[in-house]
Amino acid sequence: MIPILSRIAGSGFVRSPTSIFNPAATPAHSVFGLSMLVLSVTLGIFLIVASLLLYVVIRFRHRPSDSEQEPPQIYGSNQIELSWTVIPILIVVMLFLSTTRVILETEASPKPEDALDVTVIGHQFWWEYRYPKLGVVTANELHVPVSDPMKPTPTYLSMSSADMDHSFWVPRLAGKMDLIPNRVNTMWIDPQAAGLYLGQCAQYCGVQHAKMLLRVYAQSPEDFAAWVKQQQRQASQDFSGNAAAAEGQTVFMHSACINCHTIAGTVATGRFGPDLTHLASRDTIASGAVENTPENLRRWIANPSSMKPGVLMPSMHLNDHDLDAITAYLTTLH
């Protein structure tokens, strides 16, 4: 029954980019295997008990032809009680043992030497990623190397939160893990194919919980190395031929933006909002809610609440000229 179920689940649910039945990393694979076992056991129980119920309801229904006498009164039977106590216990023990195995496989497996460390910090309503050994800081779009099953290079995420409880859930890679203030949780992922994996925050964390989206980019080792190299650079200060960007930088550095945002190599060192040093290299803004185009960026800076009501970034009430300048500046941050 298990292979058939797996195939149905695999094919039927493959079209969703966030299906738990389309695993792409080891933790998600182990959960998938266990879920197929549990599903087939419960399906079996369901079929047996539901058909019994159906049979009883049809077979023993009151018919007009029945006599008026009450049916024989049966009060119970110890043997029968015993049998339907023992059999479920056996099933429980079996399920418990297979569950324990997967728990240990996932939570107690030793960490390989080549593992990449990433610190994940949840914020209302965005994700901060820090690669301590590589000196990279980014937000909302997590880049990790593809892991070859022969020579695994998993990514270990140590997770905490700056404010609320959040939960990191990319269904195709692994089950979820909560990010809780004053506490460090760890989980690991090892995507086996390059690509973009989607997910989102799974623990209610406030007004914009719904738009705290997750994007994990699994890249080939070469692409990943290139990405790291690019992210390690400081923000470019060369605006030759782009007067608007140069002016935008001045406006940015003289406004409250710098209290919350960091742009490496400048006076902007705030940590309340996402690091913007390489903003233009990201595909999305607003924690994955909107595509990163100059128009969207401009609309976002003008009034963040219009795109994501409840977001903590305030509208700075900039005039059109300054808005254009800042947008021009930010789009140079590759």
Partner 1 sequence: MAQGHPVLEAIDQTVEAKRRPPFDVVYEWVSTVDHKKIGLMYIAYALIFLLIGGLQAVLMRIQLAAPNNHFVSPQVFNRLFTMHGTTMVFFMGMPMLFGFGNYLVPLMIGARDMAFPRLNAFSFWISAFGGMLLYFSYLGGDGLYGMGSAPDVGWFAYAPLTAKVFSPGHSTDYWTLAILLSGIGTTGTALNIVTTTICMRCKGMKLSRMPLFVWLMLVTSCMVFVAVSPLTAAQIMLTLDRYLGAHFFDTQAGGSAVLWMHFFWIFGHPEVYILVLPAFGFVNEIIPVFSRKAIFGYPAMVAASVGIGFISLSVWAHHMFTVGMGPAGNTFFVFATMVISVPTGIKIFNWLATLWGGKIIFKVPMMFCIAFLFQFLVAGLTGIMLSAAPFNWQLSGSYFVVAHFHYVLVGAIVTSLFGAFYYWYPKATGRMMSETLGRWHFWLFLIGFHLTFDFMHVPGLLGMPRRIYTYEAGRGWEWWNLIVGIGAVFQVIGISIFVYNLVRSYSRGEIAGHDPWDAWTLEWATPSPPPAYNFAVEPMVASRRPLWDLKHPEDQDENYE
Residue pair 208/309 in contact (Cβ under 8 Å)? The answer is yes
Asked if 99 is part of the footprint of partner 1 (rule: CB under 8 A), the reply reads yes
The smaller minimum CB distance to partner 1, of residues 18 and 192, is found at 18
The smaller minimum CB distance to partner 1, of residues 218 and 251, is found at 218
Chain positions 44 to 83 lying near partner 1, rule: CB under 8 A, are 45-46, 49-50, 52-53, 56-57, 60-62, 66, 70-77, 80-81
Pairing verdict, β 136-139 and 185-189: unpaired
The smaller minimum CB distance to partner 1, of residues 2 and 45, is found at 45
User: What is the smallest separation between the CB atom of 61 and partner 1, expressed in angstroms?
Assistant: 5
Asked if 133 is part of the footprint of partner 1 (rule: CB under 8 A), the reply reads no
Which position among 5, 10, 18, 115 is part of the footprint of partner 1 (CB under 8 A)?
18
> CA 190 to CA 152: how far, in whole Å?
7
Residue pair 44/94 in contact (Cβ under 8 Å)? The answer is no
Q: Is residue 297 classed as helix, strand or coil in its secondary structure? A: helix
Which position among 8, 51, 88, 250 is part of the footprint of partner 1 (CB under 8 A)?
88
Structure tokens at 66: 């029945």
| Angle between helix 2-12 and 26-59 (nearest 10) | 110
The smaller minimum CB distance to partner 1, of residues 103 and 243, is found at 103
Element housing 197 (H / E) = strand 195-200
Which position among 5, 6, 10, 35 is part of the footprint of partner 1 (CB under 8 A)?
35
Q: Which backbone phi and psi does 168 adopt, to 5 degrees?
A: -90, 115
> CA 32 to CA 10: how far, in whole Å?
10
The smaller minimum CB distance to partner 1, of residues 48 and 226, is found at 48
Determine how many CB atoms are found less than 10 A away from the CB of residue 281. Answer: 15
The smaller minimum CB distance to partner 1, of residues 205 and 328, is found at 205
Chain positions 242 to 281 lying near partner 1, rule: CB under 8 A, are none
> CA 18 to CA 39: how far, in whole Å?
19
User: What is the smallest separation between the CB atom of 231 and partner 1, expressed in angstroms?
Assistant: 27
Instruction: DSSP for 129-194, please give it.
Output: EEETTTTEEEESEEEEE--BTTB---EEEEEEESSS-EEE--TTT---EEE-TT--EEEEE--SS-
The smaller minimum CB distance to partner 1, of residues 74 and 150, is found at 74
Asked if 20 is part of the footprint of partner 1 (rule: CB under 8 A), the reply reads yes
Chain positions 154 to 213 lying near partner 1, rule: CB under 8 A, are 163-165, 167, 169, 171, 174-178, 180-183, 185-186, 198-210
User: What is the smallest separation between the CB atom of 329 and partner 1, expressed in angstroms?
Assistant: 29
- The residue count for binding partner 1 (CB under 8 A) is 86
User: What is the smallest separation between the CB atom of 223 and partner 1, expressed in angstroms?
Assistant: 25
